[in-house]
Amino acid sequence: MRFDTKITFYRKVDIDYNPKKSKHVYKLISWQEWANVTDLGTASQVELLGKIEQGVKTIRLMQQPANWDYLQIKDSSTRYRFNSSINALKGYAMIVGQDNG
C-alpha cells in the first residue's frame, strides 16, 4: 500500500469572544499527512453505512490523526467529514464523506 496522496486536515480553534458583536473569534489550524485514498465501493457502502452515498472515500493513514473538523484531498476545494473508522491490521483507516454544508 502506498501513501501517495496528500491530505490536509483543518481544525477550528476558539481563541476569543467578542461580547460587543456576540461572536466567537476562531483560528484555523491546518496540517498535512500522506495517505492512501480510495473510493468506497457500493457493496461496501451498503454493508458499512446502510445506504449508498455520493463521494465516500476510504483513507488509510500510518496513525490516527489528532482531532480535526474537516479535511481536503490533494488541495481540492471539496471538504470531507468523518463517517466512521475501520479496524485495520496496520495503521488507521477511516471512511469520510463529502461535506454538504
At 47, which CATH number? 2.40.10
pLDDT tens string 34-89: 999 988 765 565 565 565 566 788 899 999 999 999 999 998 999 999 988 887 78
Tell me how many domains the chain contains: 1
Q: Which residues span the domain enclosing 44?
A: 5-15+24-98
pLDDT-based confidence at residue 16 (cuts at 50, 70, 90): confident
The residues near 53 (Cβ < 8 Å, ≥ 6 apart) are 45, 97
Sort 94 into a burial class: Cβ within 10 Å, 0-12 / 13-18 / 19+.
Answer: buried
Distance of CA 11 to the CA centre of its chain: 11
- Please state the φ and ψ torsions of residue 49, each to the nearest 5 degrees: -105, -20
How many residues are listed for the chain in this entry? 101
To the question of pTM greater than 0.95 for the whole model, the response is no
